């Protein structure tokens, strides 16, 4: 899947209209580009207690899960999580030999369930397809947010900002 990685590199942006890499970024007041939000897809056997083991170990390391979804298949489970400390999660998953992959997800703040229509409209206008989405469990300020898997995350972020939605970055969800 575009943007997916198992190492330290993130795939560059790709413009569906122009057919080449693009630089559609935001810079902070200090001149840095914000870090995108990473999703970890942890592959665990479909056996009782395995998901609890992963979550328990993250809790022990004080790595907080802020968004989560579970995809259950016949013989395995994919635990998709967004955490407040990606480096801590990566260290733990490596140390415990949990198989996983990482990819960028687009996270957007929404004021109410009615705003979902506007988020989807912005993405349709940008000719982007949403692979899947899931809600955040908690946010430091208590506002609702969605994590979305979208092929061209830079284009999606720009489209959402154009429609005046707040796009979240890793610094927005870290504690």
Strand pairing partners for 66? none
Residue 47 in any domain: the answer is yes
Q: DSSP alpha helices (H): ranges in 48-163?
A: 50-60, 86-95, 115-125, 153-162
Q: Per the structure, how many domains does the chain have?
A: 1
Domain boundaries, position 55: 38-102
Residue 90 in any domain: the answer is yes
Mark 132-156 as b/e (b = at least 16 C-beta within 10 Å). ebbebeebeeeeebbbbbbebbbbb
Strand, helix or coil at 23?
Answer: coil
Residue 75 in any domain: the answer is yes
Q: For residue 174, give Cα distances in angstroms to 5, 92, 98, 131, 152.
A: 21, 17, 23, 25, 23
DSSP 137: S
**What pLDDT, on the 0 to 100 scale, is given for residue 8?**
31
**Residue 86 near residue 74 (C-beta atoms within 8 A):** no
Residue 42 in any domain: the answer is yes
Residue 160 in any domain: the answer is no
Cα–Cα distance, 147 to 118 (Å, whole number): 15
**What pLDDT, on the 0 to 100 scale, is given for residue 84?**
95
Residue 71 in any domain: the answer is yes
Residue 95 in any domain: the answer is yes
Q: Can you give the CATH number for the domain in which 96 is found?
A: 3.30.2130.10
Residue 65 in any domain: the answer is yes
**What pLDDT, on the 0 to 100 scale, is given for residue 175?**
73
> Which residues in the chain show pLDDT less than 50?
1-3, 5-25
């Amino acid at each position: 899947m575009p943007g997916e990685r198992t190492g330290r590199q993130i795939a560059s942006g790709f413009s569906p209209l122009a057919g080449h890499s693009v630089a559609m970024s935001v810079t902070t007041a200090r001149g840095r580009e914000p870090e995108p939000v990473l999703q970890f897809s942890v592959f665990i056997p479909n056996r009782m207690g395995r998901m609890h083991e992963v979550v328990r170990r993250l809790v022990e390391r004080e790595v907080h899960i802020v968004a989560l979804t579970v995809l259950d298949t016949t013989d395995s489970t994919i635990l998709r999580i967004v955490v407040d400390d990606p480096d801590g999660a990566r260290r733990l998953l490596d140390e415990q030999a949990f198989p996983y992959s990482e990819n960028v997800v687009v996270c957007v703040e929404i004021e109410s369930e009615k705003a979902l229509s506007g988020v989807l409209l912005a993405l349709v206008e940008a000719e982007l397809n949403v692979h899947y989405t899931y809600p955040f469990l908690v946010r430091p300020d208590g506002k609702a947010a969605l994590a979305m898997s979208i092929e061209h995350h830079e284009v999606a972020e720009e489209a959402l900002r154009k429609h005046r939605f707040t796009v979240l970055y890793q610094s927005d969800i870290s504690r």
